[in-house]
Amino acid sequence: MKSITSPLVTRPLTVAALLAFNGGFVDTAGFLGLNGLFVAHVTGNFVTLGAALVTGGHGVIGKILALPAFMMVIALARLSGTVLRGADLPARRILFSINVLLLLAFFVMAVRFGPFPNADSPLALLTGLAGIAAMAMQASVQRVHLAKMPPSTMMTGSTVQATLDVVDILTGAHPEQQPTIRKRFRRLITTIVAFTLGCASSALLYAYIGFWCLGVSVVIGMIAAVTRVEEGGT
């Protein structure tokens, strides 16, 4: 079956930047509105879970559920992608569309039921799980369909590699690999900047309009979903 053409065609790095912006945006809004829950950053939840267990407070249940929920969605995305490709269907676009629906669910539930004074309440947990599902879907689809691009929901590894690359560029190390190093650095710095802008804009908007700011993430997700990636683009 022929895939449905998309009105937007761009390079993979542009889509990766959109996803990185959303990764920072959604994670920041979730952290601010769900008592320190990272919906996109599994490692962060380990840290805040340890702190919550020692100091007390809300959010322990959500942090415990975050890892298995994240893993479950990634597994389902993997299986669904395999089935869709086997049926000659546009797996990337369909899975990104599901990601938009999950972002929309997170947005609607957060606005409807938030703010959450108790992050362990059933509605707060369901809302947080919707955000976790959206970010897990995004991370999974990008890892499979935009595998050459840096990750969009975690920046630690990207920052380490970008620092190594800029040192190699400035010192002229590995001259035979300089084109590859420069291309990788451009990709890394683009996604790091996009993620940072997502975090900053989310924090600013949340301060003024609360969870309504998540509407931005839905729009960005829709743009990424309808965009067709240029073959051979960088």
Q: Which long-range contacts (CB under 8 A, 24 or more apart) does 117-122 make?
A: 117/58, 118/58, 119/34, 119/35, 119/36, 119/37, 119/58, 119/59, 119/62, 120/58, 120/59, 120/60, 120/61, 120/62
Average pLDDT over residues 125-137: 95
Structure confidence at residue 233 (pLDDT): 53
Write the CB contacts of 54 (distance below 8 Å, at least 6 apart in sequence): none
Residue 189 has pLDDT above 90, yes or no: yes
Average pLDDT, the chain: 88
**Between 1.20.1250, 2.40.128, 1.10.287, 3.10.450, what CATH number should domain 8-229 receive?**
1.20.1250
Confidence of residue 102 (pLDDT cuts 50, 70, 90): very high
Angle between helix axes 12-33 and 122-145 (nearest 10 degrees) is 160
- Structural contact between residues 33 and 114, judged by C-beta atoms closer than 8 angstroms: yes
Structure confidence at residue 83 (pLDDT): 94
- Greater confidence (53 vs 126) lies with 126
Question: pLDDT digit string (tens) for 70-94?
Answer: 999 999 999 999 999 999 998 889 9
The span from the CA of 136 to the CA of 216, in Å, is 18
- Greater confidence (201 vs 145) lies with 201
End-to-end CA distance of the chain: give it in Å, rounded. Answer: 27
Question: pLDDT digit string (tens) for 134-146?
Answer: 999 999 998 888 8
Helix (H) or strand (E) holding 162: helix 156-171
Structure confidence at residue 1 (pLDDT): 41
- Greater confidence (217 vs 12) lies with 217
Structure confidence at residue 6 (pLDDT): 47
Give the lowest-confidence range in 38-47, 162-171, 189-198.
Answer: 38-47
pTM comes to: 0.89
Structure confidence at residue 148 (pLDDT): 87
Confidence of residue 164 (pLDDT cuts 50, 70, 90): very high
Biggest CA–CA distance in the chain, Å, is 57
- Closest to 145 in 3D by CA, of 106, 104, 94: 94
Structure confidence at residue 2 (pLDDT): 43
Question: pLDDT digit string (tens) for 1-57?
Answer: 444 444 566 788 899 999 999 999 999 999 999 988 889 877 777 777 777 777 766
Extract the runs of DSSP E, i.e. beta strands, from the chain: 8-10, 227-229
Confidence of residue 107 (pLDDT cuts 50, 70, 90): very high
Tell me how crowded residue 42 is: count the other CB atoms within 10 A of its CB. 19
Structure confidence at residue 117 (pLDDT): 83
